[in-house]
Amino acid sequence: EKSKTLKRGSIPTINLPKKSHEESKPSTSRRIIEKKELVPSKVYKDINDLKSKVSKLGLTGWSRKFDENTFSLDYFDGKHALPLYTLKVDSGLGFTVAAFGWFLPENHHIYLEHKHSVTYVSVASLITEIRNLYVCPGLPLTDSTTTLLHVTDPVDGVSEVTRHTVPLCPEVYCDKDTPYQVSLYLRSADCLMLQTSGEDACDSCSKVLVSEIKRQKQSVIKKATSLKEKAPLSGSSKERLIATIQQQRIEAKGLKHRLSGLEKEINSNSITVNESLEGDILNILGNADLKKTPHMDFFWQQQKKLLSSPKFGRLAEDIIPT
């Protein structure tokens, strides 16, 4: 067999030297890993399963109420007749929470976090979460906030602020003369009721309070301003009428002061005119042709009347001809 010869300029492809550590490795296909979503396991299957499991729990301070299709837990603080916390579960394992009889709004974070159901959350952890929340103190009890109770929305017809009355236990006030006592709160219609902070009011009540403070500032500014010249008095408030009278008194005092200053200036800068000089001046004024200047004619006619009057026998220096 004829041996192959390498052509000039070509690259050799056979009988090449090999390294001792080179080994052929079989190619492997890449493994595709599929992510599977973790589905939380159900804590309770139905209302009966919940009742059987909760009845075995040692819930200190909580009273249980079992009905055919509902289940509720109440926690009393020992001061009020209404429970401080109330947890109700219906037949579909949906739950609602109330504090002093005031149910939480639908946008509360405890509903959004657990999707309004105890299917995937235990009652023990839920009541622990509720106990860590604080009751909203509401709006301060002042005259301005109390007046908001009677202000209704023109569209819905609902008051922006609601009175929340919580009766006290008879044991608290039995030694006093009052036959009935309550804890009074003023809340916005959308009060969160339970929040993470216990010092300040919730966002909904804070917005109402801020708007009321702005309204008070605007009313004070409006009350302090006086009425315009042709403004009707019937539609004005008492405060604005008082401000108007005060403003008019200040203006009248200023005019009186200016008039007094003019009288003093006339008395100090005028000279006394005797009868002979007065007659000469009247003759000069009477013979002068002032029809060409009506303004001057009117001026001298007034001066003649003034000179003729026995009460005024003085002329200012700047009107005596020289």
Residues 119 and 162 in one domain: no
**Residue 76 belongs to a domain:** yes
Structure confidence at residue 320 (pLDDT): 46
**Residue 17 belongs to a domain:** no
Structure confidence at residue 226 (pLDDT): 75
Q: Can you give the residue range of the structural domain that contains 217?
A: 143-149+158-224
**pLDDT one-digit tens code per residue, 67-85:** 888 889 999 998 999 999 9
**Residue 252 belongs to a domain:** yes
Cβ proximity of 71 and 57 under 8 Å: no
Give 191-257 as a DSSP string. Answer: ---EES-SSSPPHHHHHHHHHHHHHHHHHHHHHHSPPPTT--STTS-HHHHHHHHHHHHHHHHHHHH
Structure confidence at residue 131 (pLDDT): 92
Residues 56 and 113 in one domain: yes
Structure confidence at residue 83 (pLDDT): 93
Task: Determine if the pTM surpasses 0.95.
Answer: no
Q: Which residue numbers in the chain have pLDDT < 50?
A: 154-155, 313-322
Angle at 137 between CA 136 and CA 143, to 5 degrees: 140
Residues 52 and 120 in one domain: yes
**Residue 1 belongs to a domain:** no
**pLDDT one-digit tens code per residue, 139-184:** 888 776 676 665 555 445 567 788 899 999 888 777 777 788 888 8
Partners of residue 182 on adjacent β-strands: 167
**Residue 300 belongs to a domain:** yes
**Residue 236 belongs to a domain:** yes
Q: One-letter amino acid identity for 261? A: G
Please give the Cα distance from 321 to 296 (Å, whole number).
Answer: 13
Which of 187, 207, 224 marks a domain boundary?
224
Task: Count up the domains in the chain and report the number.
Answer: 4
Please give the Cα distance from 246 to 83 (Å, whole number).
Answer: 56
**Residue 12 belongs to a domain:** no
Residues 240 and 289 in one domain: no
Closest CA to 92 of 44, 128, 133: 44
Residues 262 and 196 in one domain: no
Structure confidence at residue 152 (pLDDT): 52
